[in-house]
Amino acid sequence: MSLLEVDHLTIDYKTRRGIVRAVNDVSFSMKKGETLGLVGESGSGKSTLGLSLVRLVPFPGVIRSGHIRVEKKDIVSLRDKEMRSIRGSKIAFVFQDPMTSLNPVKRIGDHFIEFLRTHTPHISKKEALKRAKNILDELGIPNERINDYPHQFSGGMRQRIMIGLAIALNPSLVIADEPTTALDVIVQDKILGILKDLSRAHDMALILITHDLSIVLERCDNIFVMYAGHQVEYGKSEELYRDPKHPYTQKLLQSIPNIELADQKLDAIPGSPPDLLNLPKGCPFWPRCPHVMAICRIKVPPIISLGSGHLVKCFLYGGTES
């Protein structure tokens, strides 16, 4: 059964200089317990897409069109009160910067108490603390530190606490927006491992938003690649790794440094991501694309299915006839 369905979603930011289309006609779906890697450069719309799933797109962003269905319920048109009851309990969020994601004047225990009470008002303080301690245990944080303040923890520990808060109510979906960008590589590996293990243990679906294709390739079931607000490729991780179809994905994979080939010159994608206020006509990637054709400069390519759920938005695989 599908847990999440995003259907032709378009999100605009109305800025003074014009409309920025951060998410442009994006569709995908997720099953229960599935892990999805959402990959894109800065400004590709991946964070906006993530936030839209809990309807917290920051001002001046608006969901222009499309649907987001969580267990068949369309949350785009949901009333605020119902939306609030979904946030945290059904869909939880782990933010990028663990240093500032915890309230500096609140003890860790208070974070748990308040969070648990938001959704289960009847729970006693004692009960909430007991649950918090169990969660800390599960995350490998000594539970006697429950009365410490956020600044007394290291970055990695804080991110584990954030993850602990996210899973406290057993949500069916956890969205982690670059959860390890602010951490060093060793801690990054640990945190991602924890997220993966928890999602398996609690049967939670996980969306891992990142700019680093390499960290999601081995950890996620499926990969969703975004470029300038467009979805460019979607498919199973192995398939995407073995046989990437979209020129952008191919380039991304080539630009992952290989530790065994020390002398290899790193392959970079020429040019830079487009200005979202001033997108090129047609496919947004054509100015940097090695296989650019005449039609790419005129029309936005359709989404083409290559079988077994592999989707690509590129004229190289068809759609040129119509």
Q: Closest distance between another protein and the C-beta of residue 192, in Å?
A: 19
Stretch that binds another protein, among 1-9, 97-105, 126-134, 207-215 (CB under 8 A): 97-105
Residue 74: CA atoms inside 13 Å, Cβ hemisphere, count? Answer: 9
Q: Is 119 in the site for another protein (CB under 8 A)?
A: yes
Q: How far is the CB of 237 from another protein (least distance, A)?
A: 27
Shortest CB 150 distance to another protein, Å: 9
Give the tokens for residue 120.
Answer: 């289960």
Single out the residue of 84, 130, 202, 299 in contact with another protein (rule: CB under 8 A). 84
Q: Round to the nearest angstrom and report the end-to-end CA distance of the chain.
A: 34
Q: Which residue from 9, 11, 20, 102 is in contact with another protein, where contact means CB under 8 A?
A: 102
- Within the chain, residue ranges assigned H as helices are 46-52, 80-86, 108-119, 125-138, 155-167, 185-201, 213-217, 237-242, 247-254
Phi, psi of 8 (to 5 degrees): 45, 55
CA–CA distances in Å: residue 33 to residues 79, 196, 295: 27, 10, 39
Nearer to another protein, 151 or 265 (CB): 151
Residue 173 interacts with another protein (CB under 8 A): yes or no: no
Q: Locate tokens 């047609």: which residue?
A: 282
Instruction: Figure out which of the listed residues 15, 65, 100, 254 binds another protein, where binding follows CB under 8 A.
Output: 100
Q: How far apart are the C-alpha atoms of 88 and 84, rounded to whole Å?
A: 8
CB 205, min distance to another protein, A: 16
Q: Does 47 participate in binding another protein (rule CB under 8 A)?
A: no
Binding site for another protein (CB under 8 A): 54, 56, 84-89, 92-93, 95-97, 100-106, 114-115, 118-119, 149, 151, 162, 165
